[in-house]
Structure 1
Amino acid sequence: MATVRKRKLPSGLVRWQASYVDGAGKRRAKLFDRKSDGEAWLVETSHDLKRGLHTPGSVSPTVKDAAALWIKRCNEKGLEQSTICAYEEHVDLHIVPFIGAKKLAELTVPAVNAFADQLREASRSADMMKRVIRSLGAIFKEARRRGLSAVAPTEGLELDLPERDDPRPVIPTKRELQAIIANSAGRWRPLILVATFCGLRASELRGLRWCDVDFDARQIHVNQRADIYHKIGKLKSKSAYRSIPCSSMVLNTLREWKLKCPKGDLGLVFPNKSGKVEALSNIMQRGFDPIQIAAGVVTLVPVLDDAGKPVINNAGEPIMREVGRYGLHALRHACASLWIEGGKNPKAIQTLMGHSTIQMTYDVYGHLFADVDGDQRAAEDIQIRLLGG
């Protein structure tokens, strides 16, 4: 039975005690300054009890403690160290400083919205806010798994963030791709060709094994990846495990490269000179960037001094230098665009790219599926129907 009674504390202060029996049959109580506050709290608590959504405040952990349990669970699940480090940054830099001392039971949907407002006022970017709220949701999910929470206040949350950036990926033009391929040589040529015509992620390229290159079936089977710490591990998701068809040029180049490729216990296709996992920084600095510069696919950036400030010439202008225009991931986007141009439908693109959902495929490449000619015909038809031929 839920009741609100006046209580006189040992200090002489008078408070109102709201009490109820929880789902486990244990009586719980909470003190309030006003009777009306206690009654309102009991109404809300009773409603949550009936829906099975109530966790007593006395057993609810703080956000900080719940976050520690979540990070522990991430380690137990064997997530990549880089992923766990990113989660720890979300917790240490963006969650704990604002709501770490609050109990999970206190975080309602309005409270989470207020937290998002705090992040915005603290100049967190829209992208970072999305990531942090996603991590907060994962904290609640782990707490629910442990029976420490019965709610999920971040689910379906609308952050109302500004969407001003162009969501379309930057894709090299065909002329740029031709120049890049023409200037690729040595150990870098097979890597550039596989990236361009097979669409592997950088981590998948670095973890690709010769046993996964099926010359007879003319396919590459993507079965593992190498993280930023050079550790071989599982792919990002179940859908990332896939088989990709290879052109004759890619296969022939790989056959030639296999004869020269450094040998190692890992059996990698694109290892370093010792046969170990190649660093992405080396691929960029020694391979892809010089290739782009030789191909004239460049952009200008200021030369920086040891303090990170632009070096100024006698005319008072910053000294500029040429760097490669694109990151390695741009070749993956280029591959997708070539597949789409070749008539692949969205579901096929999702499979070939290893996207976890079709929505991800549409979010990244939806604009490439547009029927430009059909849209133009529709525009002309509207004009004719309104104004006549």
Structure 2
Amino acid sequence: MARVRDLWMRKVKHPDGSVTKEKTTRYGKGKRYLAVWLDPSGDEATQAFQRKIDAENHASVMEADRLRGAYVDPRAGKVGLQEYAETRWLPQLVHVAEGTKETYERHLRHRVYPAFGKREIGSITRADAKSFVARLNADPGLANTTVHTAFATLRIVMQAAVDDEIINANPCSRVKLPRLGDRVIDPLPVEAVRDLADAITPRYRVAVFLGAGAGLRRGEALGLTIPRIAFDRRHVDIRVQAQKGRLVELKTKYSRRIVPVDDVVLEEVRRHMELYAPAPGNVLISNTWKAVAKPSAFNSAWSRAAGKVGLPEGTRFHDLRHFYASALIAAGVNPKAIQRRMGHASITETFDTYGHLFPDHEELGRGAIDLLLRAPS
């Protein structure tokens, strides 16, 4: 049965049957009232409070949680958020792709830990979560999409703590985020793509053509193996990607695809193969040590090339993928075919990303109904 014990005063029963209160040796030291309840194993659990009403409320809540099977040991929430994430949550992420895990780690390191890393996970409130969003949103260097992703990382960690019975509820639930504006892709000019290919480190030149000419993601380009390049059938078969200098599975089943490529891409591949030895595993692109190229080294080469040709800071390899999609749209390729070549999970993703690039004006399709319905003269 839940109860409250006074740590400063104790009742003393005298021989004549009278009862008085006397000060204990703890009088005036520390918190006065001790909430006492039984945990699910039947053992006594306690927590001290300054006010009696707080102790009574806490003891009642813990007793009610035990009876309805929702009991969480308050001591569990005293673990620091960073300690929990590093020692329990991250090691358990065996079900997510390596790239997704890297994204979580990056947001934890740069945004979540500075705000909550040393805080006890049980002390983080919904007000704290709202303040976190407000601080991120006030940073002019962060896009709204980054705010969403950083907060999603915190929310997932806190939900894992709920699932692990460390805290009772997720303080990140029902927290409003800044509205995401309509996504507008502005493809790179063709001159910029050619300039990038000429400016980047020569052994990475072919990657520019794989991005702009086949829509490959960075990891897919760096992990493309020579046996997956069909020169006779003029296509590349995407089956793996490179991450941290090694080949790993693709993130989704939709990323596995065959992409037809034009001669200009195949010519660059042949030229590359004449100049550079493949990496282990017959990977087309190798670094100077003849190993699979690492993202950090490639990103440095990419940034230098983008700056050299005068492209805005923040121009990404992914922008080549947008260039490829816009070229297919301009050529009138069927949207469903574009979805497959891009490796999108659904046509909705394709239209959400590139819908504004498809032609849309009142003359489009003019005459089609005339041909079908007009009676013969």
Q: TM-score, normalised by structure 2?
A: 0.68
Shift of 1:12: 0.7
Q: Is the 8 A contact 1:213 1:219 kept in 2?
A: yes
Structure-to-structure mapping, 1:234-245, within 5 angstroms? 234-235=248-249, 237-239=251-253, 241-245=255-259
2:33 aligned partner, one-letter code = W
Distance 1:201 1:57, change over 3 A: same
Tell me what 2:150 maps to: 132
2:19 corresponds in structure 1 to none
> Which residue of the partner structure matches residue 199 of structure 1?
215
What is the aligned partner in structure 1 of residue 171 from structure 2? 153
Looking at structure 2, the residues matched to 358 and 151 of structure 1 have their Cα atoms a distance apart, in angstroms, of 36
User: What are the within-5 Å matches in structure 2 for residues 139-178 of structure 1?
Assistant: 139-144=157-162, 146-155=164-173, 157-159=175-177, 161=178, 167-173=183-189, 176=191
Q: Identify the residue that residue 327 of structure 2 maps to in structure 1.
A: 338
Q: Which of 62, 74, 78 in structure 2 is aligned with 1:57?
A: 74
Equivalent of 1:29 in 25, 36, 46 = 46
| Distance across 2 between alignment mates of 1:51 and 1:366 | 50
CA distance in 1, matches of 2:131, 2:327: 45
Equivalents in 2 of 1:81, 1:28: separation in Å? 43
Change (3 A) 1:359 1:65: farther
**Structure-2 change in CA distance of 1:286 and 1:214 (3 Å):** farther
- What residue is the counterpart of 2:117 in the other structure? 100
The Cα offsets for residues 287-309 of structure 1, whole Å up to 9 and x where unpaired, read as 7777xx5xxxx5599xxxxxxxx
| Residue identity in the other structure for 1:277 | V
**1:220-244 deviation line (CA, Å, top 9, x unaligned):** 22223334x5x02325612464113
Shift of 1:210: 0.6
Give CA-to-partner distance per residue, 1:350-384, whole Å, 9 cap, x none. Answer: 54323467775455334335744389x9xxxxxxx
Does the 8 Å CA contact 1:15/1:33 hold for their aligned counterparts? yes
TM-fit CA distance, 1:209: 0.7
- Which residue in 1 is equivalent to 2:354? 365
Alpha-carbon shift at residue 171 of structure 1 (Å): 0.6
Aligned-pair distance for 1:331? Answer: 1.6
**Which SS does the other structure have where 2:74 is aligned?**
coil
TM-score w.r.t. the length of structure 1 is 0.66
**Conservation of the 8 A alpha-carbon contact between 1:267 and 1:275:** no
Larger radius of gyration between Structure 1 and Structure 2:
2
Q: Report the 3-state secondary structure (helix = DSSP H, G, I; strand = E; otherwise coil) of the residue aligned with 2:119.
A: coil
What secondary structure sits across from 1:245 in the alignment?
A: strand
One-letter amino acid matched to 1:15: R
Corresponding residue of 1:270 = 285
Q: 1:30 to 1:115 in 2, by over 3 A?
A: farther
Superimposed CA distance per residue, residues 250-288 of structure 1 (whole angstroms, 9 cap, x where no aligned partner):
575267437625233332223356643354257647977
**Which blocks of at least 5 consecutive residues in structure 2 are unaligned?**
9-23, 367-377
Whether 1:328 aligns to 2:290 is no
Measure, in 1, the Cα distance between the counterparts of 2:199 and 2:162: 52
Structure 2 residue matching 1:373: 3-state secondary structure: coil
Superposed CA RMSD in Å reads: 4.6
Instruction: Measure, in 2, the Cα distance between the counterparts of 1:256 and 1:20.
Output: 75
* Identity percentage of aligned residues: 22
Mean Cα displacement is larger for which, 352-361 or 281-290? Answer: 281-290
1:317-338 superposed Cα distances (whole Å, 9 cap, x missing partner): xxxxxxxx95432220011223
- Cα deviation 1:109-148 (Å, max 9, x = unaligned): 3342244345567888455543432332343354456543
Q: For the residues of structure 2 that align with 1:253 and 1:121, how far apart are their CA atoms?
A: 48
The range that moved more, 199-208 or 70-79, is: 70-79
Residues 213 and 265 of structure 2 are in contact (CA less than 8 Å); yes or no, is this contact kept in structure 1?
no
Looking at structure 1, the residues matched to 358 and 57 of structure 2 have their Cα atoms a distance apart, in angstroms, of 54
**Counterpart AA for 1:158:** K
Change (3 A) 1:257 1:72: same
Deviation, 1:201, is: 1.3
The 10-residue stretch of structure 1 (22-31 or 201-210) with the greater mean CA deviation from structure 2? 22-31
Distance 2:304 2:39 in 1: 64
- 2:335 maps to a residue whose letter is N
